Amino acid sequence: MPQQWKLVCKVKDIPVGGACLVPRGLAWQELPGVAVFRTADERIFALLDSCPHKGSPLSQGTVLAEHVQCPRHAWNISLETGCAVAPEQGCTRRYAVKVEEGKVYLDLLELNAPASRAEAALAGTYGVAPLAALHP
């Protein structure tokens, strides 16, 4: 399936060593957003704004090289993979990012797809999920 890119912010809107938050879903769903991170060497990554440990908002964490440190329990999450650094275990969803001319884009299909089985079940209940997202 071809990617459809959605402009979400400008690189300059993301603090170096920090993140900006991109909302997902419908207002009533209260889904975690996507945290778009900018490293000190100007690389851009996007992860679901939910630590795999206890769901803390990664967008409020500190970027350390190629990891973000969870603000609540200090877990280090790889920006490249979305997975916790050993000895911790677990992963959060990673999103494809495209940067062109100082603008940051996320794949629209990924952005709209449920990020977990629970989200897929909720979306399916209300008839708002893309059918392909419910049957991977």
Question: Between residues 128 and 45, which one has the greater pLDDT?
Answer: 45
pLDDT above 90 coverage of the chain, percent:
58
Q: How high is the pLDDT of residue 124?
A: 57
- What's the predicted TM-score (pTM) here? 0.83
The average pLDDT across 34-57 equals 93
Q: How high is the pLDDT of residue 99?
A: 97
Domains of the chain: 5-124 (2.102.10.10)
pLDDT of 125 over the 80 cut: no
The average pLDDT across 25-44 equals 84
CA distance 121 to 42: 37
Question: CA torsion sign, 22 to 39 to 108 to 99?
Answer: positive
